[in-house]
């Protein structure tokens, strides 16, 4: 009995595949919707996962133990106008009064044009101290950091990024060279190791770093601190350190309990988690929208199968008249629908894999193969074949042999 059933199933599968092969063009157009659906879902989710990982890696490169303090309230409900900038005393207070703090670096930032010979480049100039390099995990690739004398005296020396080297120095060793930035001369004492993009399209190597006092005296004309980078001991509770910093700065800025903070403390790890979560949600939404095309492909399969039942009415009637069972006819048409949808799923997976491998480097995100989304996409393509193929198959199996044989 089992051998008979096995031979019957093989025969049904052979008939289904032969029918698909006979109508190759129609079969190709039928599976096109499933191909597009599977391809869209896998591509959107794979590239979305790559974008999420790129953002997380970019922010994590700043250090999961980095806090950035800026004047002004963060955007959102309850946000309002912020308070004034910090000063050097605030930096020293955080360094001396908050436990778990490893390094603290005040920053004064401005924009300007750097000029050397006939070359010029618009960039960002950051005034800070050597602690900034450790807080931000920056590495000096050539040259050195600032000396204590240079920091205290506000000497006109600078450490530049790879983009500045490429645009101003070309094939010249920049160490020891002098160029002008916003009208003042600056000697290059160091070059940062290349870091690339930051995940948001920003160039991390497009920067000039000078001693804090040099920028304050020569470029900004004040003693304001626009941001404070705080490196914390990873063995300490980051939330507790943030709370201590908030309490200290509220006291120093004379805020009473009814007033909102007029500054913000940003945790690099929290930012990475928040942005990654947001990108992940958007990826799922886009993938779900792309999945609608799978349903469209299923409707296409059902439509073609109904047409096929109509075209093959006499053939079905003949099979039923000579002893074929209704279940055998149902199985044949159901197998045809499933084979078409599975074929579409496999083709869609291959195309998606090729596109993702090619596109990921072009848009600057890593290629992350997700076996789960590939399996789920193929599973749903097979399920769509069963779901949308059952009605035509049921209709074929329910035909009256006599009326089918009379069909013209």
- Which 3-state string (H, E, C) describes 338-354? HHHHHHHHHHHHHHHHH
Q: Which two tokens stand for residue 277?
A: 């979560």
pLDDT value at residue 76: 41
Long-range contacts of 256-262 (CB under 8 A, 24+ apart): 260/73, 260/78, 260/80, 261/73, 262/71, 262/72, 262/73, 262/81, 262/82, 262/83
Q: Which two tokens stand for residue 140?
A: 């000096």
User: Average pLDDT over the chain, rounded to whole?
Assistant: 80
Radius of gyration of the chain (CA): 33
When pLDDT is averaged across residues 257-269 and rounded to a whole number, the result is 83
Q: Which two tokens stand for residue 113?
A: 């044009």
pLDDT value at residue 335: 76
pLDDT value at residue 4: 46
Which residue has tokens 């705080």?
230
Q: Is the pLDDT of residue 146 over 90?
A: yes
Answer yes or no: is 75 within a domain: no
Q: Beta strand pairing status for 178-181 and 157-160?
A: unpaired
pLDDT value at residue 326: 62
Q: Is the pLDDT of residue 87 over 70?
A: yes
Compare 26 and 174 and report the one with higher pLDDT: 174
pLDDT value at residue 364: 75
Are residue 242 and residue 285 in the same domain, yes or no? Answer: no
Are residue 279 and residue 345 in the same domain, yes or no? Answer: yes
What letter would DSSP give residue 327?
Answer: H
3-state secondary structure of 379: helix
Count CB atoms within 10 A of the CB of residue 61.
Answer: 18
pLDDT value at residue 52: 76
Compare 103 and 204 and report the one with higher pLDDT: 103
Compare 188 and 335 and report the one with higher pLDDT: 188
Are residue 341 and residue 228 in the same domain, yes or no? Answer: no
C-alpha–C-alpha distance, residues 337 and 344, integer Å: 11
Q: Is the pLDDT of residue 189 over 90?
A: yes
Are residue 369 and residue 248 in the same domain, yes or no? Answer: no
- Each residue's pLDDT tens digit, 341-363: 888 888 888 998 999 898 888 87
Structural domain including 51 reads 2-58+273-406
Q: Is the pLDDT of residue 131 over 60?
A: yes
User: Is the pTM value of this prediction over 0.75?
Assistant: no
pLDDT value at residue 13: 64
pLDDT value at residue 181: 92
pLDDT value at residue 63: 56
The answer to whether the CB of 204 falls within 8 A of the CB of 197 is yes
Answer yes or no: is 266 within a domain: no
Domain count across the chain: 2
Sign of CA dihedral 66, 70, 75, 76: positive
Answer yes or no: is 137 within a domain: yes
Are residue 204 and residue 88 in the same domain, yes or no? Answer: yes
- pLDDT class for 375, splitting at 50, 70, 90? confident
Are residue 149 and residue 245 in the same domain, yes or no? Answer: yes
Find the range with the poorest average confidence among 3-12, 178-187, 373-382.
3-12
């Amino acid at each position: 009995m089992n051998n008979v059933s096995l031979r019957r199933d093989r025969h049904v599968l052979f008939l289904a595949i032969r029918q698909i092969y006979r109508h190759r063009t129609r079969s190709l157009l039928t599976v096109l919707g499933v191909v597009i659906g599977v391809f869209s879902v896998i591509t959107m989710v794979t590239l979305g996962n790559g974008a999420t990982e790129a953002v997380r890696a970019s922010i994590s490169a700043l250090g999961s133990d980095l806090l950035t303090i800026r004047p002004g309230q963060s955007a959102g409900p309850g946000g309002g106008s912020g308070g004034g900038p910090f000063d050097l005393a605030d930096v020293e207070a955080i360094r001396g009064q908050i436990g778990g703090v490893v390094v603290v670096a005040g920053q004064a930032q401005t924009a300007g044009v750097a000029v050397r010979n006939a070359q010029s480049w618009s960039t960002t100039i950051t005034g800070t101290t050597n602690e900034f390099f450790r807080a931000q995990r920056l590495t000096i690739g050539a040259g050195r950091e600032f000396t204590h004398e240079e920091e205290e005296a506000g000497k006109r020396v600078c450490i530049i990024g790879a983009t500045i080297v490429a645009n101003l120095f070309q094939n010249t060793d920049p160490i020891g060279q002098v160029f002008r930035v916003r009208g003042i001369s600056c000697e290059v004492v160091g070059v940062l190791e290349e870091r690339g993009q930051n995940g948001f399209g920003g160039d991390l190597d497009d920067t000039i770093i000078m001693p804090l006092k040099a920028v304050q005296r020569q470029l900004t004309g004040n003693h304001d601190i626009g941001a404070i980078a705080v490196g914390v001991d990873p063995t300490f509770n980051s939330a507790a350190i943030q709370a201590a910093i908030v309490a200290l700065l509220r006291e120093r800025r004379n805020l009473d309990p009814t007033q909102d903070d007029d500054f913000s403390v940003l945790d690099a790890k929290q930012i990475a988690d928040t942005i990654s979560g947001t990108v992940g949600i958007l990826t799922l939404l886009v993938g779900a929208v792309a999945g609608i095309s799978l349903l469209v492909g299923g409707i296409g399969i059902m439509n073609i199968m109904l047409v096929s039942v109509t075209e093959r009415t006499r053939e079905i009637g003949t099979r039923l008249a000579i002893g074929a069972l209704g279940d055998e006819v149902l199985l044949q048409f159901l197998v045809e629908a499933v084979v078409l949808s599975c074929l579409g799923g496999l083709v869609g997976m291959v195309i998606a894999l090729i596109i993702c491998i090619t596109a990921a480097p072009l848009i600057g995100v890593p290629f992350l193969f997700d076996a789960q989304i590939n399996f789920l996409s193929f599973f749903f393509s097979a399920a769509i074949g069963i779901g949308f193929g059952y009605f035509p198959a049921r209709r074929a199996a329910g035909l009256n042999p006599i009326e089918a044989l009379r069909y013209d």
